[in-house]
Amino acid sequence: MSRTTTAPTMRAVLQDTAGAPDVLKVVETRRPEPGRGEILVRVHAAGVNPADWKTRQRGVFADGTPLPFVLGFDVSGVVEATGDGVTVFQPGDEVFGMPRFPHPAGAYAQYVTAPARHFAPRPRGLTHIESGALPLASLTAWQALVDTAGVRPGQRVLVHAAAGGVGHLAVQIAKARGAHVIGTASAAKHDLLRSLGADELVDYRTQDFAETVRDVDIVLDTLGGADRVRSLRTLRRGGRLVTILPLDDAFPHEEAEAAGVRTEFMLVEPDRQGLREITALVEDGRLQVIADAVFPLEEAAAAHALGEAGRTTGKVVLSVTS
């Protein structure tokens, strides 16, 4: 008598059509297996990022991967198994990371597989929810300010949307590197940002930052559009505007060049060393991550709706094991 074996399955949030948050549905699907150089991670928490809801709306990943797919890049969890050749982790290790970006990682699921070196050991003292909120936003801030702009002690750094997912971490990273940090945020969030190290704050609802902020060395642009263009007026000659949003034809490159300002678009990348640098800041007490709202995996649509509303402080996170 032959015996049929059933492949292990998992719950995941699948999207098979573009549209509003309600296109996100929890399904039972096949659990992946780690390939050579990969680890299988049991996901405890998955961060929700603007890249996720923008991909959901378009119905296609930035790399061209079509529907259907599972969204999510931020992962915090426990190594379940390792593929051939993996030496940096073993089953039972707690890890966090932003695997495969900008290619699909499938973090809105109970398990993910990805290259082992896209992960780092989870920071001591953080919950899975906190470490699940950290990778994409913190790596974006680190790679923009440290790797791209080379922020140095004494420089003046302007961080837009300073209370947002990337912004609240960028404020702390710039401060940890010895910079004078200026942030734009609504007045209700100023006390929090001062507690995180911001030196000056601009209430974008009542003040025009382009009229009040001057002699900036580095602008971290998380907004794009008109705010990005107006940021040129805040920079000193020789300053740098680093944007995490693609530059379009409407951006006045000639104006920036005439002002002696260097403008660069930066796309975040998986970065084990960057994660280790961020972990060191966390464990040294110089970087905290704010998880503003936590939803179970089954409420991924509600998490997207909240994130898209643009009124959160810090990050929105899915609790996958709840």
pLDDT 10s digits, 274-300: 999 999 999 999 999 999 999 999 999
Average of per-residue pLDDT values in the chain: 96
Low-confidence ranges of the chain (pLDDT < 50): 1-2
Q: What is the pLDDT of residue 249?
A: 86
Q: What is the pLDDT of residue 110?
A: 98
| Neighbour-count burial of 73, counting CB atoms closer than 10 A to its CB (0-12 exposed, 13-18 middle, 19+ buried) | buried
Structural domains of the chain in order of their starting residue, each with its CATH number: 9-134+290-319 (3.90.180.10), 137-265 (3.40.50.720)
Q: What is the pLDDT of residue 5?
A: 58
Q: What is the pLDDT of residue 82?
A: 98
Integer-rounded Cα radius of gyration of the chain: 20
- Taking the C-alpha atoms of residue 2 and residue 8, their distance in angstroms, rounded to an integer, is 19
Element (H, E) at 265: strand 262-265
pLDDT tens for 222-236 read: 999 999 999 999 999
